[in-house]
């Protein structure tokens, strides 16, 4: 007879572990490509949002808006942004109206880096042999899961 509590607590039956392991594997796979760009994975994710904003700037491209988009707090973002600024990719500027508000923009070098980064996803998917339809379906499923879990914490 199967012990239901034991089976339900088995590591391989945990969605949270599968998501964690998959995230780590993808991050590891990106690392050699990101090393060529001089970015860490968290810096790359920040740059992805800033590249989006460069083409369709939100009304307030701020650290707060970035944190909301990435679901990260300012304590996590500030060191990332400082490093990206030191690398000459990002500019941070305090608002003249409210100095607690920090506006973000890409430098010329930050804009140029997008061209080099453009092929990362394609290279990763091609190198891994992942089916694009399966990857899209997984992303959509994760979007739904994330939305449901966000609703629980609201």
**What is the full per-residue pLDDT of the chain (154 aa) written as tens digits?**
566 677 888 999 999 999 999 999 989 988 999 999 999 999 999 999 999 999 887 777 999 999 999 999 989 999 999 999 999 999 999 988 888 889 999 999 999 999 888 888 777 777 778 888 888 999 999 999 999 988 787 6
Q: Which CATH number does the domain housing residue 83 bear?
A: 1.10.10.10
Which whole-number Å values give the CA distances from 112 to 40, 54, 89, 116, 120, in the listed order?
17, 12, 9, 7, 15
Considering the domain architecture, whether residues 125 and 141 belong to the same structural domain is answered as yes
Number of domains composing the chain: 2
Residue 16 lies in a domain: no
Same domain, 98 and 53: yes
Give a yes or no: residue 146 inside a domain: yes
Query: Do residue 127 and residue 144 come from a single domain?
Result: yes
pTM: 0.87
The residue range of the domain holding 129 is 119-154
Does 110 share its domain with 54? Answer: yes
Tell me if 22 is assigned to some domain. no
Q: Are residues 129 and 110 in the same domain?
A: no
In a shared domain, residues 154 and 96:
no
Residue 105 lies in a domain: yes
Same domain for 109 and 45: yes
Does residue 138 sit in the same domain as residue 151?
yes
């Amino acid at each position: 007879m199967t012990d239901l509590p034991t089976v339900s607590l088995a590591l391989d039956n945990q969605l949270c572990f599968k998501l964690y392991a998959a995230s780590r594997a993808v991050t590891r796979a990106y690392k050699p490509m990101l090393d060529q760009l001089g970015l860490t994975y968290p810096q790359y994710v920040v740059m992805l949002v800033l590249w989006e904003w460069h083409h369709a700037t939100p009304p307030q491209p701020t650290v707060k808006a970035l944190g909301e988009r990435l679901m990260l707090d300012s304590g996590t973002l500030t060191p990332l942004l400082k490093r990206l600024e030191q690398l000459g990719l990002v500019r941070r500027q305090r608002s003249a109206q409210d100095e607690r508000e920090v506006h973000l923009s890409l430098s010329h070098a930050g804009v140029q880096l997008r061209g080099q980064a453009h092929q990362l996803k394609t290279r990763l998917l091609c190198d891994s042999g992942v089916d694009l339809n399966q990857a899209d379906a997984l992303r959509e499923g994760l979007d739904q899961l994330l939305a449901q879990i966000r609703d629980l914490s609201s």
